[in-house]
Every structure is written in structure tokens, then in C-alpha cells.
Amino acid sequence: MSDIAKVQNAVMSASFLKRFGPWLLLALGLIVLPFFFSSNIAVYTMNLMGIFIIFALSYNMLLGQGGMLSFGHAVYFGLGGFMSVHFMNYIEADIFVVPVVIVPIFGGLIGLLFAVIVGSFSTRRAGTVFAMISLGIGELIASCSLIFVAFFGGEEGISADRTMGPEVMGVDFAQDIEVYYLIAVWAFITIALMYLFSRTPMGRMANAVRDNDERIEFIGYSQRKVRFISFCASGFFAGIAGGLFAINFEIVTEENLNALTSGVVLLMAYIGGVGFFVGPIVGAVVFTLLQTLLSNYTEIWQLYVGVLFVSTVMYAPQGLTGLIAMHIPAFKMKRLRVLAVPYVRAGIPTLLLLAGISGFLETIHHVRSAAVGETTMSLLGIEFDTHTIMPWIIIAVLVVVGGYLTKTQMPQLREAWDEANAPLKSDEGGAS
């Protein structure tokens, strides 16, 4: 008896760990991160990351889970941001006093409100029609922001002061690190809510609509209503992200709701992988790192992000998360080691090739944009004169040799991949 009870307990705790483990880990990670990365730039980056994670996840409720390609999701993010900035100003003017902590809710509500309005006509069909309407609405709201100056503040936007609200537990959000914890709490709550949403009947029907919007009507559901509800939920969470953006930066401008921001969120979700719940989280983290760190080293970081996006679309449509997930079968069969050497053998020449290509781009960029007469540039700490022949020869050698070796190493990598993913012998025999 006691043995059975023990086994049951073990099973129970295992399933408990399985169910809540990732969440505990997430919470713990959010709490301890600032202890490891405590510089100003790190906190700045993490704050932006948190905001973008919520934003990208809300976007994926449309794209990955609902099959709706939106080119105007920044509308709900930006409007949520503007509303929150106004709320912070109301707080400052003693018109409507609430703690700053709950301001993002109002951002969410305005996102929801506009999603209800736009969704009421845009969710009739998915596909091209939906995409075109989202693009049109995006342009419409962006141009409104220069017309209705009272609400949008024209070109300079609206700014506010987040420290004016009533203090909660003695925190007035004067420090970025305090805002970090505010964003972390909101991120945890919204990630959990969006995850839970995907596990509800509604979330499941959103997947079904994505898969086959015709058949869903023959099992009792209106495709339009399913899309509409997903759309509203997505707008709500985007608005919350916008509210956090407003609190973090204390300014919101037209740029936060225009097509550029809509493009950024699409990029983040896609690079991370729209087919996985965690995909947009990965995408937001990678994108923010590229944006804040890579931009310290190179002026053409956006070009690299663009190349990353295009190569994701072409070669890894499942995104970065998909690339990791590809290795799970081999990992389960304990065969990842088979891949280590082939990866190194293919990886080194690939790095050479990439170094050559980016060296070429950087040097070209320097030649075109540097001040007249300035011909020395520095790359990876190496100084050289762009108007001599030597750097170009090195670049050419890197590209040609790297490219050739990469090509010759590919067959062995493919072979190793097949070997690592071959079905287990016992499976072939039919035994478990």
C-alpha cells in the first residue's frame, strides 16, 4: 500500500513539476536576472525585451495561432501607449489618481476597444483581405496621429512623468530597475494568461480556424466570431505592452503605432518561430539584443536583421525555436553527440564565409559613408585602409574559401543528421 502511495506521490510531484516547473523557472529567472545584468544598458535592454515579449506574443495570437497575417498590429500597441501616457498625465494633474502600477490595464482596454471596432469588419475573412485591411487601418491611424494633435501630440508625441502617482510600498519608479520589476510582473501575468488562452476551447478553435476555416463552420463554429475573439484578445495584450512602453520611456510618439513598429513585431514573431508558443519570446529576446547590442558595433545592424529575417523565411520557416525543436528527437535518442563534430566541421567554414560577407558589407558601407579623406576603418579591432587592395583580397579569400569549404562539408553534415535521426532499431521491430 505505502509503496503504491509513494509511487503515486512520485508521479504526482513529477506532473506537478512538469506543469508548474517552467513557470517557477520563469518567475525565478525574472527575479534574479537584474542581479547578473545590473548595468544601465542591461536594465534598459531587459525592459525593452519584456515589453516586446508581450507585444510579440500578442501578435502571435493572430499569426501563429489564428492564421491571421496582420500588418498593422502596432496600432493597438501604440494606442495603448498613448492612453497610458494620458493616464499618467491625469494622475499628475490629480484628475484621476491610481497607482502607476495598474496604468497598463487602461492601455489594454483601449487596445481592446479598437480591436473590437476594427475586428468587427476585418475578421470576416483571413488571408489577403485581412492583411490588406490591417495595413490600411495601420496607415489610417498613423496619419490620424498627425491630425489629432491633442491626443497624439503631433510629431513630438506625448510625454509624461511616471513618478507622480501614489507610491505603492514606497516605490515611485524613479529608477529603471523599479520599472524592470513592474514589467517583469506584468510580463509574467500576461505570458501566463496568453498561454492559458491557448489551452481553452476558444484557443483551440482559433487553431482549428487557422488549419481549415471552412470545416469549422460544419462543426458548429462561426469562423468570423472565432477570429474576432482572438483579435480582441490580441489587441488587449498589445495595449498592455504599449502601456508598459509608455511607463518605461515616459514618451509615446507616432513611431510607436506606424508600419515600422508593425513590421518589427512581425519580424520578432517570425524569427522566433510562429508555430511555437515560446517562439515570439525567443524572437523578442534575439531582436532586442540585436537592436541594442549590435547597433553599438555597426551602423548597418538593420541590414543584418533583414538578412536574418529573409533567411529564416527561406530556410527555417519554423524560426529559431523550430531549429532547436528539430534536435529534440536526436536528443531523446541520446544521439546529439553524433552531430557535434559535423557541426564544428561545417560551422567553422560557415563562420569564415559570414565574416567575409559582413566584412565586405562593412567596408563598402565605410567607403560610401565615411567623411571625405578618411580611409582607415577598424573591424574587430583590426585597423586597415579601405583604399588599399589588401583588405579586399582578404575579404575575397574569406568568402571564396569559406563558401567552398562550407559546400564541401554539407554532405557529411547531412549524413550525420540522418544517422542521428534514424529510427531506433527497436522501433523497426515493432517493440516499444
Partner 1 sequence: MSSAIKLDELRKSFGPTEIIRGVNLDIKKGERHAIIGPNGAGKSTLFHLISGRYNLSGGHVSLNGEEISNLPPYEIYRKGLSRSFQVTNIFPILSVFENVRCSLMWSEDYKYSFWHLVDRERKLNDRAAEVLEEIGLTSRQHVPAGVLTYAEQRALEIGLAAAGGADVIMLDEPTAGMSHSETDQAIELIRRITVGKTLVMVEHDMGVVFDLADRISVLVYGEIIATDTPENIRNNKAVQEAYLGVEAEHA
Residues in contact with partner 1 by CB under 8 A are 196-197, 199-205, 207-208, 210-212, 214-222, 225-226, 229, 233
Toward partner 1, which CB reaches closer, 220 or 381? 220
Q: Residue 353 has which C-alpha cell?
A: 564565409
Q: Return the number of the residue (143 or 222) whose C-beta is nearest partner 1.
A: 222
Q: Give the nearer residue to partner 1 in terms of CB position, either 212 or 302.
A: 212
Nearer to partner 1, 19 or 368 (CB): 19
Surface-to-core class of residue 95, CB atoms within 10 Å of its CB (0-12 exposed, 13-18 middle, 19+ buried): exposed
Q: Which CB atom, from 236 or from 245, has the smaller least distance to partner 1?
A: 236
Task: Rank residues 108 and 157 by Cβ distance to partner 1 and give the closer one.
Answer: 108
Angle at 102 between CA 97 and CA 105, to 5 degrees: 115
Q: How far is the CB of 212 from partner 1 (least distance, A)?
A: 5
Q: What's the start-to-end Cα distance of the chain, in Å? A: 29
Min dist CB 233 to partner 1, Å, is 7
| Shortest spacing between CB 162 and partner 1, in angstroms | 31
Nearer to partner 1, 205 or 246 (CB): 205
- The distance of Cα 59 from the centroid of its chain, to the nearest Å, equals 9
- Dihedral over Cα of 282, 284, 286, 287: its sign: positive
DSSP of 150-212:
HHH-GGG-EE--GGGSPPBTTB---SHHHHHHHHHHHHHHHHHHHHHHHTSHHHHHHHHHHH-
Cβ 207 to partner 1, closest distance in Å? Answer: 6
Cβ(80)–Cβ(110) below 8 Å: yes
237-260 CB burial, b ≥16 within 10 A, e <16: bbbbbbbbbbbbbbbbbbebbbee
Cell of 279: 517562439
The least distance separating partner 1 from the CB of residue 379, rounded to whole angstroms, comes to: 45
Least gap, CB of 17 to partner 1 (angstroms): 17
382-385/158-159 β-pairing: unpaired
Torsions phi, psi of 348, nearest 5? Answer: -60, -50
* Minimum distance, C-beta of residue 211 to partner 1, in the bound complex (Å): 4
Q: Which of 270, 261, 208 is nearest to 238 (CA)?
A: 261
How many residues belong to the chain? Answer: 432
Q: Which is nearer to partner 1, 35 or 218 (CB)?
A: 218
**Tell me, what DSSP letter sits at residue 70?**
-
Least spacing, CB of residue 52 vs partner 1, in Å? 24
β partners of residue 379: 382
CB of 238 to partner 1, least distance (A): 17
Q: Which is nearer to partner 1, 14 or 196 (CB)?
A: 196
